[in-house]
């Protein structure tokens, strides 16, 4: 009796210590959460993993996502990095997927906005969610996505033998414990099982590695579904629907989660084959519930991604929610800016017609303005957030041709890459969707005579009164030839005591100034070159 009380006391003490350590850990985590809220995290998620998940998920959406060139033109990898503040790799993967896949349904965006807004204003709610998501913070959780969307392995016909071998190992252990057989018999199943386990794991190791977190995913979803806060009841309802029938899976693959710093559980799994036999035992259940498991993954990812957006908004402060219009010709932004710039200059702009030609000096801000418009269209239709005082537009798709270059790997010249890039825009113009086409220095990779002729024809083709076109150019002749179909705007330089400067503000009308030679002088080119170039321009000898 005394021994039993003593044992019970030890167990209670261990439990109390464990709970106290958990309390201290939560307290420490909460301090870090509050310190980092509204800040870009120091550690960045591996973009390759996010891209791989996007490729897996994008297959069912055909071409209904941002193409690679437009994504790169708009520096959206960098936008993802400053937006991603999530706790889990799942959240990062899902956020990347959202940014690559703009939507045109207001109901979907409103649902996201509701959750973002709750996380922004309700500190208690977001901290409860974050503490639960900490279960999935391990970087290797990222591999779970592959296994959930890849074809599952077939279950071998003799897989039941693994269970029999496990039971046999238990029987031998009991017999040794009862001193009915020699302890040396323990080595027999250990050596044999080591070989069996090695052979089996060779075929399913990638699933073993990733599915060790499947039970954690199920448990985390269950814990979030039980939080007593009405603000997330819709999410909780979704989680409960996906959780039905998955509890048995978590029980069967429990051995996959065995971990300790001394590697003791590895030896346990070798001897008893708990991990491989548990995996095959759960395989049919996983297969029949794969859509529910994917749903859990996406719902958890959605929660974490919306936490990221709430933190992103907290940092920038000066943002608005987009106002989507039924009028297909209304596109207006007030004090719009680019979040990647340290000291951005806000600009207001309204399409007076659907086609706009922007001229201006080198470095005056033309390309940055194109990117600013494109980035904010993407943010509006993915995370319902615009870095502006006001944003009014219909649902549109962004397609760009901005950053072309020679590609040594494919053997494409600059001009060929540009030709293909513009053709992509022309094909998009023939689709029924409304687009925003962003073009920087059209056909600059060829001679001036042909460039001028082809540019006119392409720009006229795109001015179809359906799509919005914004083209930046140094070709001042285009402003005169295209003034019937395109409204002219420009950026300008300013001369001050420091020399050449820019106000980075958009102005009506075409530019009337040139600064290419002045810029050479400003950065320190020899006077001989600068003065001779000026004379050539003056005498039209260039």
Say if strands 487-491 and 507-508 run parallel, antiparallel, or are unpaired.
Answer: antiparallel
Model pLDDT, residue 414: 76
* Rounded Cα gap, residues 253 and 246, in angstroms: 11
Three-state DSSP state, 258: coil
Model confidence at 129: pLDDT above 90 = yes
Model confidence at 156: pLDDT above 70 = no
Those residues whose C-beta lies under 8 Å from the C-beta of residue 156, and which sit 6 or more positions away, are: 280
Cα-flanking dihedrals φ and ψ of residue 148, to 5°? Answer: -75, -25
Confidence of residue 408 (pLDDT cuts 50, 70, 90): very low
Where does CATH 3.40.50.300 sit in the chain? 323-511
Confidence of residue 384 (pLDDT cuts 50, 70, 90): very high
Sheet strands (E) in 124-172? none
Cβ 377 vs Cβ 399: under 8 Å: no
Q: In this structure, what DSSP letter does residue 409 have?
A: T
Confidence of residue 497 (pLDDT cuts 50, 70, 90): low
- Name the residue with higher pLDDT: 316 or 6: 316
Q: Which of 147-156, 165-174, 456-465 has the lowest mean pLDDT?
A: 165-174
Can you tell me the mean pLDDT for 510-535? 79
pLDDT digits (tens, 9 = 90+) for 13-26: 766 766 666 667 66
Model pLDDT, residue 88: 92
CB atoms within 10 A of CB 502: 17
Q: Which of 203-217, 333-347, 373-387 has the lowest mean pLDDT?
A: 203-217
Q: Which helix (H) or strand (E) holds 487?
A: strand 487-491
Can you tell me the mean pLDDT for 402-429? 75
* Rounded Cα gap, residues 142 and 96, in angstroms: 13
Fold of 323-511: Rossmann fold (3.40.50)
Q: Taking phi first (over 0 means left), then psi (-120 to 50 degrees means alpha), and beta for anything else, what does residue 519 get? A: alpha
Can you tell me the mean pLDDT for 412-441? 89
* Rounded Cα gap, residues 406 and 413, in angstroms: 5
Model pLDDT, residue 349: 96
Model confidence at 541: pLDDT above 60 = no
Can you tell me the mean pLDDT for 38-58? 80
Can you tell me the mean pLDDT for 270-299? 81
- 124 by Cβ neighbours in 10 Å (0-12 / 13-18 / 19+) ranks as exposed
Model pLDDT, residue 407: 45
pLDDT digits (tens, 9 = 90+) for 231-240: 899 999 999 9
* Rounded Cα gap, residues 426 and 399, in angstroms: 10
Cα-flanking dihedrals φ and ψ of residue 360, to 5°? Answer: 155, 170
Cβ 85 vs Cβ 308: under 8 Å: yes
* Rounded Cα gap, residues 475 and 454, in angstroms: 13
Model pLDDT, residue 3: 56
Can you tell me the mean pLDDT for 292-308? 96
* Alpha-carbon separation of residue 321 from 222, 269, 384, 389 (angstroms): 32, 53, 6, 9
Model pLDDT, residue 18: 64
- Name the residue with higher pLDDT: 30 or 177: 30
Model pLDDT, residue 362: 76
Q: Which of 59-68, 144-153, 183-192, 475-484 has the lowest mean pLDDT?
A: 183-192
pTM, two decimals, is 0.84
* Rounded Cα gap, residues 63 and 428, in angstroms: 11
Cα torsion through 509, 513, 514, 520, rounded to 10: -130
Can you tell me the mean pLDDT for 246-254? 78
Model confidence at 313: pLDDT above 90 = yes
Compute CA 66 distance to the chain's CA centroid, rounded to the nearest angstrom: 12
Q: Taking phi first (over 0 means left), then psi (-120 to 50 degrees means alpha), and beta for anything else, what does residue 317 get? A: left
């Amino acid at each position: 009796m005394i021994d039993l009380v003593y044992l019970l006391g030890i167990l209670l003490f261990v439990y109390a210590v464990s709970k106290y350590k958990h309390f201290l850990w939560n307290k420490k985590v909460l301090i870090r959460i509050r310190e980092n809220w509204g800040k870009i995290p120091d550690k960045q998620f591996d973009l390759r993993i996010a891209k791989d998940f996007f490729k897996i998920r994008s297959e069912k959406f055909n071409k209904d996502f941002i193409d690679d060139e437009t994504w790169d033109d708009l520096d959206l990898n960098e936008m993802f990095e400053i937006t991603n503040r999530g706790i889990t790799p799942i959240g990062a993967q899902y956020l990347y997927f959202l940014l690559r896949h703009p939507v045109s349904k207001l109901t979907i965006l409103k649902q996201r906005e509701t959750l973002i807004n709750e996380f922004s204003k309700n500190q208690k709610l977001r901290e409860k969610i974050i503490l639960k998501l900490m279960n999935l913070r391990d970087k290797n959780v990222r591999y779970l996505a592959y296994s959930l969307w890849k074809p599952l392995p077939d279950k071998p016909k003799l897989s039941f033998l693994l269970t029999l071998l496990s039971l046999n190992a238990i029987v031998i252990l009991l017999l040794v414990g009862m001193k009915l057989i020699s302890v040396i018999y323990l080595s027999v199943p250990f050596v044999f099982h080591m070989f069996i386990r090695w052979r089996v794991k060779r075929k399913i190791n990638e699933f073993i590695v990733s599915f060790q977190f499947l039970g954690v995913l199920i448990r985390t979803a269950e814990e979030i579904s039980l939080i007593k806060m009405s603000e997330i009841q819709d999410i909780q309802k979704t989680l409960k629907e996906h959780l039905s029938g998955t509890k048995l899976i978590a029980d069967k693959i429990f051995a996959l989660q065995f971990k300790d710093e001394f590697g003791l559980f590895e030896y346990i799994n070798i001897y008893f084959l708990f991990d491989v036999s548990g995996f095959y035992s759960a395989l049919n259940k996983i297969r029949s519930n794969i859509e529910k498991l994917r749903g859990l993954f996406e719902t958890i990812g959605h929660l974490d991604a919306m936490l990221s957006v709430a933190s992103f908004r907290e940092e920038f402060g000066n943002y608005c929610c987009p106002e989507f219009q039924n009028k297909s010709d209304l596109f207006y932004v007030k004090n719009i800016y680019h979040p990647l710039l340290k000291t951005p200059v806000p600009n207001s702009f309204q399409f007076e017609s659907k086609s706009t030609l922007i001229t201006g000096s080198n470095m005056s801000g033309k390309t940055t303005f194109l990117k600013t418009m494109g980035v904010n269209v993407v943010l509006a239709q993915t995370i319902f957030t615009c870095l502006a005082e006001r944003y009014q537009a219909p649902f549109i798709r962004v397609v760009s041709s901005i950053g072309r270059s020679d590609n040594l790997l494919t053997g494409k010249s600059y001009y060929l890459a540009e030709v293909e890039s513009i053709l992509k825009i022309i094909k998009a113009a023939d689709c029924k969707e409304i687009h925003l086409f962003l073009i920087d220095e059209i056909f600059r990779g060829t001679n001036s005579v042909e460039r001028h002729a082809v540019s006119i024809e392409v720009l006229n083709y795109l001015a179809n009164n359906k799509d919005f076109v914004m083209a930046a150019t140094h070709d001042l002749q285009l402003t005169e030839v295209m003034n019937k179909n395109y409204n002219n705007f420009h950026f300008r330089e300013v001369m001050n005591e420091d020399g050449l400067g820019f106000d980075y503000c958009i102005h009506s009308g075409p530019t009337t100034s040139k600064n290419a030679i002045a810029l050479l002088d400003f950065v320190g080119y020899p006077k001989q070159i600068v003065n001779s170039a000026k004379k050539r321009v003056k005498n039209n000898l260039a």
